[in-house]
Amino acid sequence: MTNLTPEEYFSSYSTMIPDFAAFCGKLADPLPLHLRINTLKASVTETRVRLEHRGIFLVQEKPLPMVFRAQNLSHPGHLLEFSLGHLHSQALSSVLAALALGPQPGDMVLDLCAAPGSKTSLLAQLMENTGTIVANDNKPNRLIPLRANLKRLGVTNTILVRYPGQHLPKRFTFDRILVDVPCSAEGTLRAGAQGTIRPPPPAGEKLLRLQRDLILRSFDLLNPGGTLVYSTCTYNPEENESVVQFLLENREAIIQPVALDLPHNPGLNRWKEKTYEPSIKQCWRIYPHQLDTVGFFLARVVKGS
């Protein structure tokens, strides 16, 4: 398929994305490198000072005290601190999904699509390695990096399982569930110096059906009063608001605000011929020209008690 400019590829979203010209312009910039300091193994202050003594300067992403933008680092995996599990390379938007879920020490948590483990390990960090996380992924080859990352980062409260997420057994229920679904990944696209984008495969009906099945199974596995976060790294409303709308039409779900103080846009009221429930405006759309990270969608859902 022929490469396209951002204006060409995202033209169907031009009325949806605020300041579309700035959005397209931002895609010419490289994606910034963010590092999360892993407080299960290291002190934020000591790790930051040690790196800066070696000329690696970190800028804190407010209001996230453990997340930093690395100014002059291209290969974090070469650092001793990375091998020791003191830090982890993670997109800022990926961090927000775990923070939006808000797990507490002692919770029973499910990460339904867990590999390669960036969000899972942050959940464990927020839970101080207490409680239990069930980390699920369907593909054996994806369990390898998941297991390796959890071991390197000192995560000890997590059980790995392998099921198709939409068929995860209902033998246990959970206080909180993160469902970061497979998606078309439009939010990861950057044009870079060449100024063009290679279009990924479109979101077909098979993928859209999987996303709907995953959010329904996740909701069914929640305890009454439990919290679910649905997330994607794409802009497509069919994969975002439409999936949340499908949940609202089929289950007694309540959309809640995401309690974080960062730039974002609300969920859409409508897309093409579809009109969405007013509460979907409480979802988050993250665009890279407003928050310099991967484009992202977040929905925080509560199950009525």
Active-site residue set: 233
H-assigned helices in 34-154 = 44-53, 80-83, 92-101, 118-126, 140-152
Please state, in angstroms and as integers, the Cα–Cα distance from residue 255 to each residue in 117, 148, 284, 298, following that order: 26, 35, 11, 11
Q: Which residues contact 254 (CB under 8 A, 6 or more apart)?
A: 279, 301, 302, 303, 304
Query: How far is 131 from 293, CA to CA, in rounded Å?
Result: 30
d(CA 219, CA 134): 15
Contact 172, 108 (CB under 8 A): yes
Largest CA distance in the chain: 56
Give the angle 126-128-132 at the CA atoms, nearest 5°. 90
Torsion of CA 24, 28, 32, 33, to 10 degrees: 130
Rounded Cα distance between 280 and 253, Å, is 11
